[in-house]
Amino acid sequence: MKSKKRQIAGDIARVAIVVGLFATVALIFDHPAVQEQIDVQHLRSLMRDTGFRGTLIFFLVTTIITAVGIPRLWISVAAGALYGAVEGSVVAQAASLGGAILNFYLARTLLRGPITRRLTPRMRHWYKRLNENGFRWILYLRLFPLSNASLTNTVGGISRVRTRDFISATFLGYLPMTIIFALFGSSAAKKSLPQLVVAGLIFTVVLVGRHWYEKLRKGSQHKSDAESERSAL
């Protein structure tokens, strides 16, 4: 029970730290000395003026950056700051998905043999899970990331998970955090308190959902183990 309470308190602290961080960034951007060096509103106008070409370049660059291991959440923050919460979420989600698919196909076409022969115990554990139920476990890892996203993409690529299951689970699993951090980025750039509050609330809901899901999963696993023991008797 104490461990559970500490975990919940830790998650609340994380939300508070992230909200405080972006509130601080908004105040920094509002300082005249900073505005002389970094004019965020000018950058936002510039990205809008470049239209589809600028968006396409941003998408291609961030897709490659995401594929080589740069955390996609920072891409979401940048997209939200430059394009706003709605368009930024769309662009960041597309770039995140593009980077994941690129990793997936590189692993599946070029690296399957070499990596499969050298799996660590942790990778082997997830390799087995993805072979058994790829959609479920990819979705789980996207919603509640336990490791670098590039590692998940790679293990997914070398496993027998179907491509459509990988893409659909990645899209659904990436969406909440993409929206949250695009909102954070937009709130900092626009100094929008409502967007900051909404992002913090959604972030809290996601973390609460994680606790709820883990509780259900562990309860189901405990019940399954108990039934197995009874049948063995």
Please give the angle made by the CA atoms of 87, 91 and 93, to the nearest 5 degrees.
115
Q: What is the predicted pLDDT for the residue at 232?
A: 43
What local confidence, expressed as pLDDT, does residue 99 receive?
Answer: 94
Instruction: Indicate the helix (H) or strand (E) that contains 228.
Output: helix 193-232
- Selection from 232, 172, 215, 208 nearest residue 14 by Cα: 208
DSSP conformation letters of 59-122 = HHHHHHHHHTT--HHHHHHHHHHHH-HHHHHHHHHHHHHHHHHHHHHHIIIIIHHHHHTT--HH
Mind listing the pLDDT tens digit for each residue in 106-150? 999 988 888 888 888 888 888 999 999 999 999 988 987 666 788
Residues of the chain with pLDDT under 70: 1-5, 7-8, 11, 22, 25-44, 145-147, 218-233
pLDDT for 227: 52
Residues, the chain: 233
Instruction: Identify the three-state secondary structure at position 168.
Output: helix
pLDDT score of 34: 54
Q: What is the pLDDT of residue 147?
A: 66
Regarding pTM above 0.75, the answer is yes
Position 28 scores a pLDDT of 67
Whole-number pLDDT of residue 230: 47
Q: What is the pLDDT of residue 25?
A: 64
